[in-house]
Amino acid sequence: MKRRNMTTALVGAFVLAGFLQTSCAPAPKQAAEPQEENNQVIETIMARRSVRKYKDQPVEREKLQQIVTCGINAPSGMNLQPWEVRVVDNADYINGITELFKAANPKQAEDPNFKNMFRNAPAVIFIASPADGSGQLDCGLLGENIILAAQSLGLGTCCLGGPVGFMKKGAEAAPYVERLKLPEDYQLLYAIAVGYPDETPDAKPRKAEKVLFVE
């Protein structure tokens, strides 16, 4: 009887040991899945250029809506979202304020290729931030989202400061600023020209030496 009990105990011990070895042993390493050769995000970033020549072709409202939706999904401190975004694809608006710009800058009118003050783009996105200067960093993140989303949809963009400077300081442009219906404590920060590109500019050299790893 004792021998039978001992045999049973030994069998049970071997079974338990086998179970523990099987259940606690590290899972066999699986072969790493091959990474995608093409990374669409990186390709979009590296392919994007500032476009200053556009086709005489309107941008679909659906695409404009999509890129500004990507814009407002940018990160912001404490999720304050300190921006106001205005999309203008109204030719009367763009041409009207351009006439004021040409009157103030007559040399621009001499250029036969000059059509409007937004690099001839058929659409422009205005970005405004709080007048106290806060929110500018967040508005920069928003703008980067917009231009990369535009690039992914086959659209060209160019960030513009000059036209906004004219709109802010010129009293004659005030009615056009008012039409943007910005909150009283907000002011225009910059604009983004949007359209179908009519050029494919080469990348300008980047100063890689400005990036250092700190040990």
In a domain, 34, yes or no: no
CB 155 within 8 A of CB 197: yes
In a domain, 33, yes or no: no
In a domain, 121, yes or no: yes
pLDDT in tens, 52-69: 999 999 999 999 999 999
CB atoms within 10 A of CB 62: 8
Concatenated DSSP letters for 164-185? HHHHHH-GGGHHHHHTT---TT
Query: What is the rounded distance in angstroms from the CA atom of residue 117 to the CA atom of residue 121?
Result: 9
Query: What is the rounded distance in angstroms from the CA atom of residue 68 to the CA atom of residue 196?
Result: 16
In a domain, 134, yes or no: yes
Residues in a beta bridge with 145: none
Q: Which of 170, 80, 194 is nearest to 129 (CA)?
A: 80
pLDDT at 9 over 70: no
Q: Chain-wide mean pLDDT for the chain?
A: 87
Q: On the CB side of 105, how many CA atoms lie within 13 Å of its CA?
A: 14
**3-9 average pLDDT score:** 42
Residue 189, domain extent: 42-195
In CATH, what number is assigned to the domain containing residue 57? 3.40.109.10
Tokens found for residue 197: 């590109």
CB atoms within 10 A of CB 78: 7
Query: What is the rounded distance in angstroms from the CA atom of residue 154 to the CA atom of residue 151?
Result: 5
CB 201 within 8 A of CB 49: yes
- The enclosing H or E element of 160 equals strand 156-160
In a domain, 19, yes or no: no
pLDDT at 142: 98
In a domain, 3, yes or no: no
pLDDT in tens, 149-159: 999 999 999 99
Tokens found for residue 201: 């500019």
Q: How many structural domains does the chain have?
A: 1
- For the whole model, what pTM was predicted? 0.82
pLDDT at 35: 55
pLDDT at 151: 98
In a domain, 48, yes or no: yes
In a domain, 32, yes or no: no
pLDDT in tens, 15-58: 334 433 333 344 444 444 545 578 999 999 999 999 999 999 99
pLDDT at 14: 36
pLDDT at 166: 96
**98-118 average pLDDT score:** 91
pLDDT in tens, 110-126: 888 999 999 999 999 99
